[in-house]
Structure 1
Amino acid sequence: MSYKILALDMDGTTFKELDDIVIENMEPINKAIKKGIKVVFVTGRPVHTKLNKLDLFDFSNVGAIFAAFNGALIYDLKNKQVVDANPIDKESVLKAFELLKKSEEFKEIELWAYTVDDKLSYINMPIKESKILKNETYFFDYKPVVFSSNMPILDCHKILVMNASTKFVNELRNLGLEVSWTEGSMQGEVTKKGINKKYALEFLSKKFSVERTEILAMGDGANDLPMFEYAGLSIAPVNAHQEIKSKATIVSEYTNLEGAVAKAINKYILGE
C-alpha cells in the first residue's frame, strides 16, 4: 500500500515523554517529506513551543501542516497561519472551572487551559501550590494566569485535566465537551465536542484529496484512539497504553525510545 499522509503523535511516540525528539526518527521523517509524503504532527501539544523542534524538519513545502491540541487548531507551517480552528467557547470554559467548586472530591484536580491567545493560559491554582501543573510550564516562556470568573474570559483550544477522576470526567462530558481520558490515567484532555484527532485526519484527507486508506497513523495514548479509528494503517509503539495497542493494526516490537517511528517509516513509507 502507498501511503500519502503520515500522521504522527509526539509525546511517547515520535518524541520522548514531554521532552525532546528521539534522534533516530529525524532522518526517516525528513526522507519521507522529501519523498512527497505529507508528514503531519497530530498532537495534544500547542504549535508554538520550543520543545516541538520543528526547525529539525524540512517543513518548507506547500501543505506543511501541524495539527495541534488534538485537532482543535490546524496550522500552516509554511505560511504561518491558522487554516482551521475549533476552540471551546468561553462559556463552557467558565463552566469547566466552576465544576471544581461542585464537590470536595475535586479539590486535588488541576486544570490548565490553552486560550486562543498564544501567550495566555489559565490555571486553577498557583503553580507553587500544584503537584503537576509545573510540568506544563517547561513548554513556555510565559507565566499562566490563575483563573477567575471575574476576569475577561477567552475561548480555549484545549483544557488539560490533571489528577482526573471518573466523576469529574463525566461532569465535563455532561457539559457537552469532548474528553480524551482512560480510566486510571492521571491526565485527560478536553476539547470542543467532536474535535479530536479523527477530526484532524478527516480535515487533512479532504484538504489533500487523500483516501483514508492512504493514511498511516502512529500514537501511544488515549487521544490517539479516534485517529486509529480513521487511518488505513495504525501502528502503536510497544510502550503504548494497552487500550490503544488493542485498537492498533500493528503493535511495533519497539518502544518510542528505540525508534519505533523510524522503523515503521523505513518499512512502510520508504520501503527500506
Structure 2
Amino acid sequence: MVVCDLDETLLNDKKLIPAVNIAAIKAAVAQGIYFVPNTGRGYLTVQDNLQTLGLLQRKNEYVISYNGGAIVENFKNRILQTCVMPFSVVESLFELGIAQGYCVHVYTVDQLYIWNISASEINYLTGRVNQWHETTEPNLNFLQGQDLIKIIFFVPQEAERLALKEQVLAQYTYPLNISFSSDRYIEFNSIEADKGQAAIALGNRLNIKPAEIIAVGDNSNDLPMIRQAGLGVSVANGRKFVKQAADYITAADNNQGAVAEVLRKFVL
C-alpha cells in the first residue's frame, strides 16, 4: 500500500496531478498496489482526484482524510472509521481562534464551515476545496450533536504557529494531535487521529503489514505516517524536519512528479 499526501506532494502548484504521477499510479494499481490518498482535507474534496486516477467509486479502494480522522471506502463513500473530538474542546478552540482573529475551519464528517475567510484563503482553497460554508455565526451551537473531526486556523507566520501550539498544549488537558500543513495552517485533531495511525489501521483491515506500506509527504502532519510506514518518503520540496525523518528523499519535487519517482523506484 502507498499512502500519499495531496497538497504539495501528489499535486503540483497548479493543484493538478502531474501526468507522470497519473501514469505511475495507474500502473501500480494494475499490479495490485493500493494507492490511498492520505490528506488533511475532507474525503469529498478528493473526488476529482480519484476520478483522474481511475479510483472514483471503486470498491476496495480507500481514502484517509482529516489527518486520519476518517477512513473511507471510495465505493459510495462508505465511512469505515472516524475519530471525533468532544464538542466542548472544539468549542473552546474555536473561541480561542476567533478571539485572535484567525480564519477558522471546523470539519464535520462531511461538511466544512469557515469563519473570517480572506481573499488569500479563498484563492488557496479554490481548486482544492470547492465546497465550504462561509458563516458569521458567533458560536458553534448549530453544530451541537454532530461529529466534529477537526478544527484548524490559518496562521501564516511559522513562529506564531509554533507559539500557539505551545500555548494550547499548556492550556488544554484533553490530549490533542497538533500539526502543521501547507506552511499556513495549525491543525487540531483527537490524539487518536493522525495519518500514521490511520494508515496502520487500514493496513490491518487489508492484511498489509506496516513494513509493506510506503508513505509520501512533505509537512508536519505527514510525519506520523512517514515514521510508521515501512518506507517513509519526503518529496524534494518537503520541510527540513520531514526530510530528516524520511528513509528516502526524492530528487523530484511536487511539480516534477515526485510520486512517480517513488513508484518507479520502489514498486514498478
Report TM bin, short chain: 0.7 to 0.9
Residue 149 of structure 2 is aligned to residue 157 of structure 1: yes
Asked if structure 2 preserves the Cα contact closer than 8 Å seen for 1:112 and 1:133, the reply is: no
Match of 1:92 in 2: 89
- Quote the Cα distance in structure 2 between the aligned partners of 1:113 and 1:142: 10
Look up the SS of the partner of 2:44 in the other structure.
coil
Q: Deviations over 1:74-114 (max 9, x none)?
A: 10002421001112222211110122466xxx33x221111
The alpha-carbon distance between structure 1 residues 99 and 212, as it changes in their structure 2 partners (threshold 3 A), is same
Match of 1:205 in 2: 203
Alignment map for 1:148-187 (pairs within 5 Å): 148-149=138-139, 151-153=141-143, 154-163=146-155, 164-173=160-169, 174-175=171-172, 176=174, 177-181=176-180, 185-187=183-185
Residue 229 of structure 2 is aligned to residue 231 of structure 1: yes
Letter of the 2:147 counterpart: D
- Quote the Cα distance in structure 2 between the aligned partners of 1:74 and 1:80: 10
Q: Deviations over 1:57-76 (max 9, x none)?
A: 23265420100111101100
The alpha-carbon distance between structure 1 residues 216 and 101, as it changes in their structure 2 partners (threshold 3 A), is closer
Structure 2 residues not aligned, in runs of 5+: none
How far the C-alpha of 1:137 sits from its partner, in A, is 5.0
Look up the SS of the partner of 2:255 in the other structure.
helix
Say which of 211, 216, 220 aligns to 2:218: 220
Asked if structure 2 preserves the Cα contact closer than 8 Å seen for 1:122 and 1:147, the reply is: no
Say which of 109, 116, 125 aligns to 1:136: 125
Q: Deviations over 1:191-247 (max 9, x none)?
A: 112210111112112111111111111111111100011011111111111110011
Asked if structure 1 preserves the Cα contact closer than 8 Å seen for 2:161 and 2:186, the reply is: no
Say which of 50, 54, 58 aligns to 1:54: 50
- Quote the Cα distance in structure 2 between the aligned partners of 1:137 and 1:93: 25
Residue 22 of structure 2 is aligned to residue 26 of structure 1: yes
Residue 98 of structure 2 is aligned to residue 110 of structure 1: no
Look up the SS of the partner of 1:179 in the other structure.
strand
Q: Percent identity?
A: 25
- Quote the Cα distance in structure 2 between the aligned partners of 1:238 and 1:9: 14
Letter of the 2:37 counterpart: F
- Quote the Cα distance in structure 2 between the aligned partners of 1:71 and 1:166: 22
- Quote the Cα distance in structure 2 between the aligned partners of 1:6 and 1:230: 13
Match of 2:135 in 1: 145
- Quote the Cα distance in structure 1 between the aligned partners of 2:238 and 2:76: 34
Say which of 221, 236, 252 aligns to 1:254: 252
Letter of the 1:214 counterpart: E
Q: Deviations over 1:141-174 (max 9, x none)?
A: 4432234226322332222211153332234334
Say which of 4, 11, 26 aligns to 2:7: 11
The alpha-carbon distance between structure 1 residues 266 and 88, as it changes in their structure 2 partners (threshold 3 A), is same
Asked if structure 2 preserves the Cα contact closer than 8 Å seen for 1:19 and 1:51, the reply is: no
Aligned length: 256
Asked if structure 2 preserves the Cα contact closer than 8 Å seen for 1:33 and 1:58, the reply is: no
Asked if structure 1 preserves the Cα contact closer than 8 Å seen for 2:98 and 2:104, the reply is: no
Letter of the 1:160 counterpart: I
Match of 1:74 in 2: 71
The alpha-carbon distance between structure 1 residues 22 and 144, as it changes in their structure 2 partners (threshold 3 A), is same
Asked if structure 1 preserves the Cα contact closer than 8 Å seen for 2:24 and 2:264, the reply is: yes
- Quote the Cα distance in structure 1 between the aligned partners of 2:152 and 2:98: 17
Asked if structure 2 preserves the Cα contact closer than 8 Å seen for 1:121 and 1:145, the reply is: no
Asked if structure 1 preserves the Cα contact closer than 8 Å seen for 2:152 and 2:188, the reply is: yes
